């Protein structure tokens, strides 16, 4: 069953599902999520995680909302209603172009200068502060909210560098290092929270594919590579980052970009696999989002730097 809220950039909408008076749903289309509040006795859950009474949880595209002991599964999808945002689009058209409208011949510096500043979702902030990696929304070719952008990119032959019957590897649209790819399964898995023991073979295959990609490019980079997942990603559909540790990219622009890949916010692929083997699921520690505010620290020598430009200048000593 699909509950669908039409995109309205000026208003918030509230929905009480008929005959299910135990939950209240408030959708904020401008920020791209639905706030679910448990108000009755019948249990409600998101991706098999129960919501406590009077607790409010954000439901994002790709997640599944279960009502009344999982009898009623719902998903959400943000779509543009006909005529609702045409005038606004016309106003924006002359003012500035979105990243996807840039010419393919323009440099990566030009692309990155027009994207948003954050790379991951900080649970203490709104979805407006989302990733540059996540600015993969396209008004013509993409369908739905920007958080579904990976599902569009993984189908794009121009983005693909490898694929088989289980996974596809694409170039990160806004790389945070000289070499940055994403390994995505064809199987629909919304996030780390949805992983279970039956996904072990797939996770190990994703790791092997990532290792093969590294082997193909290891002779071109002095820096090491890492394979891992963001603990709290903002893009729906699970994806494994394969990234060189030089972090030499104009798309790496702020502290959150840096800390999302150099602190425990970035979970090593092997650690995720081991966690599934032992516990049957992935647990994210409380306070993980606070890691994004950590001081800027060199990932090689651990010397702290004050600003991103200073950090980048410092990194040159290690990789040039």
Does 172 have pLDDT greater than 90?
yes
CA distance 208 to 296: 31
Does 91 have pLDDT greater than 50?
no
Domains and CATH numbers, the chain: 2-80 (2.60.200.20), 109-319 (3.30.428.10)
Sign (positive/negative) of CA torsion 94, 97, 101, 106?
positive
Residue of higher predicted confidence among 223 and 286? 286
Does 242 have pLDDT greater than 70?
yes
Lowest-confidence pick of 136-145, 169-178, 208-217: 136-145
pLDDT digits (tens, 9 = 90+) for 111-131: 454 443 333 433 333 333 434
- Provide CB contacts within 8 A for 301, sequence distance 6+: 318
CA distance 268 to 229: 7
Q: Are strands 72-80 and 2-7 parallel, antiparallel or unpaired?
A: parallel
Q: If pLDDT is split at 50, 70 and 90, which confidence band does 169 have?
A: very high
- Mean per-residue pLDDT for 74-98? 50
pLDDT digits (tens, 9 = 90+) for 35-58: 888 776 667 777 656 776 676 777
| Residue 57: per-residue pLDDT | 77
Q: If pLDDT is split at 50, 70 and 90, which confidence band does 148 have?
A: low
Would the pTM of this model clear 0.85, i.e. be above it?
no
Catalytic residues: 239
Angle between helix axes 308-319 and 255-262 (nearest 10 degrees) is: 40
| Residue 72: per-residue pLDDT | 59
């Amino acid at each position: 069953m699909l509950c669908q809220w039409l995109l309205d950039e000026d208003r918030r909408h509230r929905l009480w599902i008929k005959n299910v008076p135990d939950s209240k749903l408030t959708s904020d289309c401008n920020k791209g999520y639905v706030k679910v509040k448990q108000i009755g006795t019948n249990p409600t859950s998101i991706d098999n995680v129960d919501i406590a009474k009077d607790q409010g949880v954000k439901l994002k595209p790709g997640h599944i909302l279960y009502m009344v002991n999982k009898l009623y599964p719902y998903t959400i999808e943000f779509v543009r209603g006909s005529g609702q945002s045409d005038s606004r689009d016309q106003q924006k058209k002359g003012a500035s172009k979105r990243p996807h409208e840039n010419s393919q011949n323009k440099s990566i510096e030009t692309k990155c200068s027009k994207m948003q500043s954050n790379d991951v979702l900080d649970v203490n902030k709104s979805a407006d502060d989302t990733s540059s990696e996540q600015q993969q929304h396209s008004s013509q070719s993409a369908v739905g909210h920007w958080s579904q952008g990976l599902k569009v990119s993984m189908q794009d032959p121009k983005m693909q560098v490898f694929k088989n019957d289980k996974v596809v590897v694409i170039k990160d649209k806004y790389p945070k290092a000289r070499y940055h790819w994403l390994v995505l399964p064809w199987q629909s898995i919304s996030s780390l929270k949805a992983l279970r023991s039956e996904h072990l073979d797939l996770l190990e295959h994703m790791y092997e594919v990532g290792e093969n990609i590294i082997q193909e490019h290891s002779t071109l980079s002095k820096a090491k590579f890492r394979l891992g997942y963001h603990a709290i990603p903002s893009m729906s559909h699970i994806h494994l980052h394969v990234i060189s540790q030089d972090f030499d990219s104009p798309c790496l622009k702020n502290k959150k970009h840096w800390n999302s890949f150099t602190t425990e916010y970035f979970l090593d692929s092997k650690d995720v696999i081991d966690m599934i083997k032992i516990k049957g699921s992935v647990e994210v520690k409380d306070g993980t989002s606070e890691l994004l505010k950590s001081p800027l620290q060199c990932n090689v020598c651990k010397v702290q730097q004050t600003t991103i430009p200073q950090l980048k200048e410092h990194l040159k000593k290690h990789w040039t």
